[in-house]
């Protein structure tokens, strides 16, 4: 198929004899290797002797049989792809003195797997129908991941050439329903059943196997010297056997003691999240400010339910919890599950995790 011999504007198909797995479907290793080959071609095409540049956003189209065979492995495959690509980046940096001071050009890696069904269309000069053959992948990549964690929209990475009805990753089946152990994927934000965001950290470039907990923040964060939130004194009594909670913010910053930070450890039983101009509460409720004027005062409340060792959330402003719209009622409390995604005003994402 002549199409798979072409590389144009980041659109790449693969050649070969098909998958070597059971019944000819693509194996896990073949999936990673084919994506990596695409990555190397884009890296060579986009880099110069003075600057290093490569894609960090991938839409990987799979034959329906391959998709079905590999779909429960997608979080691990996304991690494998990032690791293998970064291993090549580290090697290139070590070989070129002009690249020694390279700083990650993107805050995230974004990897999405899409089932390429027969009704999908690829448009170039004319609308032409293609199939993704079993055992092969077709990839559309971008140099930058879209800044917020939603699924890539149709044509977002391809200038409109790829048109498909299956981009919506918020289906009825979710990896969360598979009792997945999210501790195994601490660096992965699961955006949907086939879409994943991975932070691109500066220390990814120096050590591919070990990460300092203190360095686990996006490379452009300037809060390395910010006061440690867990050392912040609270005027509210803290339960002795509590499950510690941590918040991480994207697309904005928390303001703690006048400093900006992207992480905050909850050390109080009652927390209000507000805009930057909020003042203290008479009842002593802890206030966590967000550096964004669109956030209400307060915007949402988080409460620790000590008898049940869990956290609860109530909304005052525009808030979604794990893609579910919360009623704007400060007295309507919902459980805040571990590894939750909180979306404020459709723009600012906060991830919640029990420590």
| Residue-level pLDDT at 179 | 65
| Residue-level pLDDT at 122 | 53
| Residue-level pLDDT at 193 | 74
| Residue-level pLDDT at 279 | 77
Say what the pTM is.
Answer: 0.53
| Residue-level pLDDT at 174 | 46
| Residue-level pLDDT at 167 | 33
Say which CATH topology domain 229-354 has: Tumour Suppressor Smad4 (2.60.200)
| Residue-level pLDDT at 323 | 80
| Residue-level pLDDT at 182 | 66
Query: Counting beta carbons within 10 angstroms of the beta carbon of residue 345, is it exposed (0 to 12), middle (13 to 18) or buried (19 or more)?
Result: middle
Residues of the chain with pLDDT under 50: 1-10, 123-126, 148-174, 176, 208-240
Question: Domain ranges in the chain?
Answer: 2-215, 229-354
Six token digits for residue 11: 């659109």
| Residue-level pLDDT at 219 | 39
| Residue-level pLDDT at 60 | 93
Helix (H) or strand (E) holding 302: strand 300-305
Name every residue whose Cβ is closer than 8 Å to that of residue 273 and which is 6 or more positions away in sequence.
Answer: 288, 289, 290, 295, 298, 299, 300, 301, 302, 344, 350
| Residue-level pLDDT at 210 | 39
Q: Centre a 10 Å sphere on the Cβ of residue 230 and count the other Cβ atoms it contains.
A: 13
| Residue-level pLDDT at 40 | 96
Residue 271, φ and ψ in degrees, nearest 5: -130, 135
């Amino acid at each position: 198929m002549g199409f798979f011999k072409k590389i144009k504007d980041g659109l790449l198909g693969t050649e070969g004899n098909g998958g070597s797995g059971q019944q000819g479907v693509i194996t896990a290793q073949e999936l990673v290797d084919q994506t990596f080959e695409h990555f190397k071609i884009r890296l060579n095409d986009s880099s110069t002797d003075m600057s290093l540049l490569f894609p960090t956003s991938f839409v990987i189209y799979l034959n329906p049989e391959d998709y079905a065979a590999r779909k429960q492995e997608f979080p691990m495959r996304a991690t494998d792809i990032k690791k293998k690509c970064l291993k090549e980046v580290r090697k290139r940096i070590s070989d070129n003195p002009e690249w020694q001071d390279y700083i990650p050009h993107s805050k995230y890696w974004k990897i999405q797997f899409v089932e390429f069904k027969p009704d999908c269309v690829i448009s170039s000069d004319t609308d032409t129908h293609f199939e993704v053959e079993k055992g092969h992948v077709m990839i559309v990549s971008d140099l930058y991941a879209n800044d917020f964690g939603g699924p890539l929209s149709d044509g977002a990475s391809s200038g409109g050439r790829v048109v498909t009805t299956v981009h919506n990753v918020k289906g009825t089946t979710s990896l969360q329903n598979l009792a997945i152990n999210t501790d195994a994927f601490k660096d992965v934000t699961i955006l949907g059943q086939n879409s994943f965001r991975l932070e691109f950290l500066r220390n990814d470039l120096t050590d591919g196997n070990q990460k300092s907990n203190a360095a686990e923040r996006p490379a452009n964060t300037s809060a390395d010297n910010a006061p440690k939130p867990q050392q912040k004194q609270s005027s509210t009594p803290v339960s002795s056997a509590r499950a510690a909670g941590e918040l991480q913010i994207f697309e904005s910053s928390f303001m703690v003691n006048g400093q900006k930070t992207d992480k905050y450890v909850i050390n109080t039983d009652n927390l209000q999240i507000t805009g930057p101009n909020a003042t203290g509460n008479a009842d002593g409720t802890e206030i966590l400010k967000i550096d964004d004027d669109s956030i209400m005062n307060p915007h949402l409340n988080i409460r620790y339910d000590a008898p049940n060792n869990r956290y609860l959330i109530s909304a005052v402003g525009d808030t979604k919890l794990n893609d579910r719209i919360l009623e704007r009622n400060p007295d309507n409390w919902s459980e805040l599950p571990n590894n939750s995604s909180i979306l404020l005003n459709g723009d600012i994402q906060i991830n919640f995790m029990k420590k």
